[in-house]
Amino acid sequence: MNTDEKIWRRALLPTTATIQDAIRNLDQVAIKIVLVVAESGELEGTISDGDIRRGLLRGLDLNSRITTVIHRNAFVVPPAMGRETVMQLMVANKIQQIPVVDEQHHVIGLHLWDEINAPQARPNLMVIMAGGKGTRLRPHTRNCPKPMLPVGGKPMLEHIIKRAMADGFSHFLLAVHYLGHMIEEHFGDGERLNARIEYLREQSPLGTAGALGLMPKKPEAPFVVTNGDVLTDIHYGELLDFHIRQEAAATMAVRVHEWQHPFGVVQTRGVDIIGFEEKPIARSHINAGVYVLAPEALDVLGVNEPCDMPTLFERLQAREKRTVAYPMHEPWLDVGRPSDYETAQRSGGVA
C-alpha cells in the first residue's frame, strides 16, 4: 500500500468536482488516477485519463460534473490482502492502481504498481545457517563447504542472498563453521553485492538453531532464518509479514508432502473386513528449513549450546509461546543428497 498518505489523499475529489478539477488533479498528483468519494468518505468510483477522454468525446465539457465520467465499479481490495496477491490481481486485470477500502468502503490507501512492484526495504536481519559439513554430498564437499557448491554458475549461498535482496533484505548474518574461511573470502562484508554481511563463527557444530545463541546482541525486530542448503522461490518478505500478523514467537515454513502407498489397503475391525482403499495418498507437512523468529525466541538458547530448530520450537511451546506454520507452495529444493544437487544443477536453482 502506498505508505505516503499525502499522495493518495491528494488524489481524493468530492462528487461535486468538475472534469476540469479532475484533469488538474491528474496533472498535479501524477499517479494516473482520481479517487471520487462521497461526503461520508465512501468510495464512489475512480477516474482516469481514459474516462475523461471518453466523456469529452461524448460532448461533455470541462465544467461537467465528474459524476458523468466516473468509473463506479472500481476494483478494490481490503487492507489485509498481501502484496503478492495484489500484484497478481493487477496483472490479471491489466490495472496499475487499486484503492484499498475498509469494511465501510472508506478509502484508506492505494496500491500503485510502480511501488508494489519495487521491493519493500526490509531492515530486518536474515540469518543463514552455512556451517554444515555436507557429509552426504561428498566428494563434492571434501574441499568446499556445502553452501558454496556452484549452481547455475554461482554458489547456492549467493542464490539465497540475492533472492532475499529481491525481497528488500540487505543485512545478513552467516553462521559458518566447516571451511568457513572460504565463505568469508568469497562474500567479505557484502559490499560487492550491495549488502551488509556479518558472520557468526561456530567453534563446533551447534545445529540448525544453536548458532543463534552466539549473536552478539538480540535483534530489535523479528528476523528470518534459513538453512544454507535450501533453494526456494519463497517470498521471505511475505513470510515475515505473516509472522508479524500472527503475533507469533516463531514461524516455520512448511510444505505439503504426499506419499502414495504402493499397495491397496484393507481396512479391518478385528478379523472382519470393513472396507478397501486402493493405494491411498498420505499427506503431511514437512519442515522447509525457513523460519521467522521474534527476538524473545532467543531466550530459550544458551551460548555454545547445540540446538536444532524443532527443539527450539518445542522449548517455546513449553513456555506457552505461540508457534505457527506458514504453508508455502513455491518451488523448493533441500540440497542434502547427491541426487538433490544434480537436480539443482540441471534446473540452475530450484526444481
Residue type, 317: Q
Q: Helix, strand or coil for residue 21? A: helix
Inter-residue contact 72 to 15 (CB < 8 Å): no
**Which parts of the chain have pLDDT scores under 50?**
1-4, 351
C-alpha distances in Å from residue 273, one per residue of 143, 264, 269, 270: 58, 13, 6, 8
Short-list 93, 117, 98, 122, CA closest to 108? 98
- Distance (Å, whole) CA 337 – CA 344: 11
Q: Given this model, what pLDDT does residue 165 score? A: 94
Q: Which residue has the cell 547455475?
A: 152
Q: Given this model, what pLDDT does residue 243 score? A: 96
Q: Given this model, what pLDDT does residue 4 score? A: 46
Residue 142 contacts by C-beta under 8 Å, 6 or more apart in sequence?
none
- Distance (Å, whole) CA 226 – CA 329: 17
Please work out, in degrees rounded to the nearest 5, the angle formed at the alpha carbon of residue 157 by the alpha carbons of 151 and 160. Answer: 95
Q: Given this model, what pLDDT does residue 329 score? A: 80
Largest Cα–Cα separation, the chain: 87
Q: Given this model, what pLDDT does residue 19 score? A: 93
Q: Given this model, what pLDDT does residue 120 score? A: 77
Q: How many residues does the chain have?
A: 351
- Distance (Å, whole) CA 172 – CA 294: 16
- The CATH classification of domain 126-347, taken from the options 3.40.30.10, 3.30.70.3420, 1.10.10.10, 3.90.550.10: 3.90.550.10
Question: Do the bridges between strand 281-293 and strand 250-260 make them parallel or antiparallel, or are there none, so unpaired?
Answer: antiparallel
**Domain map (residue ranges) of the chain:** 5-116, 126-347
Residue 177 contacts by C-beta under 8 Å, 6 or more apart in sequence?
131, 132, 133, 201, 202, 203, 204, 205, 206
Inter-residue contact 291 to 251 (CB < 8 Å): yes
CATH fold, domain 5-116, is CBS-domain (3.10.580)
- Distance (Å, whole) CA 237 – CA 247: 15
**Which sign, positive or negative, has the C-alpha torsion 138, 143, 146, 149?**
negative
Q: Helix, strand or coil for residue 171? A: strand
Q: Given this model, what pLDDT does residue 196 score? A: 96
- Distance (Å, whole) CA 101 – CA 26: 21
Residue type, 85: T
Short-list 167, 309, 295, 286, CA closest to 236? 167
For residue 152, count CB atoms less than 10 angstroms from its CB and return exposed for 0-12, middle for 13-18, buried for 19 or more.
Answer: middle
pLDDT tens for residues 119-178? 778 999 999 999 877 677 677 677 788 888 888 788 899 999 999 998 999 999 999 988
Q: Given this model, what pLDDT does residue 265 score? A: 86
pTM: 0.65
Q: Given this model, what pLDDT does residue 336 score? A: 63
